[in-house]
Structure 1
Amino acid sequence: MEEKKVLIVDDQNGIRILLMEVFSSEGYKTYQAANGKLALEIVRGESPDLVLLDMKIPGMDGLEILRHIKEVNPDIKVIMMTAYGELDMIKQARDLGALMHFTKPFDIDEMRGAVNMQLRGSSVV
């Protein structure tokens, strides 16, 4: 079975490292990006199966990155991470094709379960 790829896009280093550890240990190939430009290079070069995308990123915001990801490959699954009750942005993200969102600080097991469900079709925790 081919290794599924997960890209973590967040400007906070600690969050990227935490999520990379979690999803590496789940058996996924993980990539990380601190900004939109790098995220889109990885999307084009590696074609990840799923992107965990922070809504608030300096430079290019999460919605813009999401729009570009879907232009490159509409099949890539995207889960948004948000820090506040950005309800209007969350609605826009869903309209653009995001599957769901987690509000920070999120429950890491819930996120692990959601990613596994999206990539493996099971919610085995």
Structure 2
Amino acid sequence: MDDKKVLIVDDQNGIRMLLMEVFSGEGYRTFQASNGKLALEIVKDESPDLVLLDMKIPGMDGLEILKRVKEINRDIKVIMMTAYGELDMIKEATELGALMHFTKPFDIDEMRMVVNMQLRGSETRSR
């Protein structure tokens, strides 16, 4: 099985570190970016299987990044991370192709479960 790649995009260092640790612990190849420009470079170079994308990033916001990720490769799965109260943006993110969102502070175990399901579920899907 080839290693699945997860890209974590958040301007908060602590969140990136936490998620990197969790998902490399799950056996994924993890990448991180603190801004949109960097995130898109990684998307182009590494073509990650899944992107965990913070909605509120200084410079290029999450929706813009999402839009561009989908332009580069529609098959990349994107899960948004949002602050409380960004519901209008969540609706737009869903229309742009985001799978779902987690509201901060999120439950890390729940997120791990969802990511595993998205990345490994296709191999074990029986119905």
Counterpart of 1:84 in 2: which secondary structure? coil
Q: Take 1:85 and 1:21, find their aligned partners in 2: how far apart are those partners?
A: 28
Give the TM-score normalised by the residue count of structure 2: 0.95
Q: Deviations over 1:68-109 (max 9, x none)?
A: 000000000000000122111000000000000000000000
- Identity over aligned pairs, percent: 84
Give the structure 1 partner of residue 10 of structure 2.
Answer: 10
Q: Take 1:22 and 1:42, find their aligned partners in 2: how far apart are those partners?
A: 20
Q: Which runs of no fewer than 5 residues in structure 1 stay unpaired?
A: none
Give the structure 1 partner of residue 71 of structure 2.
Answer: 71
Give the structure 1 partner of residue 21 of structure 2.
Answer: 21
- TM-align CA RMSD: 0.6
Q: Which runs of no fewer than 5 residues in structure 2 stay unpaired?
A: none
Give the structure 2 partner of residue 120 of structure 1.
Answer: 120
Counterpart of 1:67 in 2: which secondary structure? helix
Greater Cα offset, 83-92 or 50-59: 83-92
Q: Deviations over 1:32-76 (max 9, x none)?
A: 000000000000000000000000000000000000000000000
Query: How many pairs are equivalent?
Result: 122
Q: Take 1:61 and 1:84, find their aligned partners in 2: how far apart are those partners?
A: 16
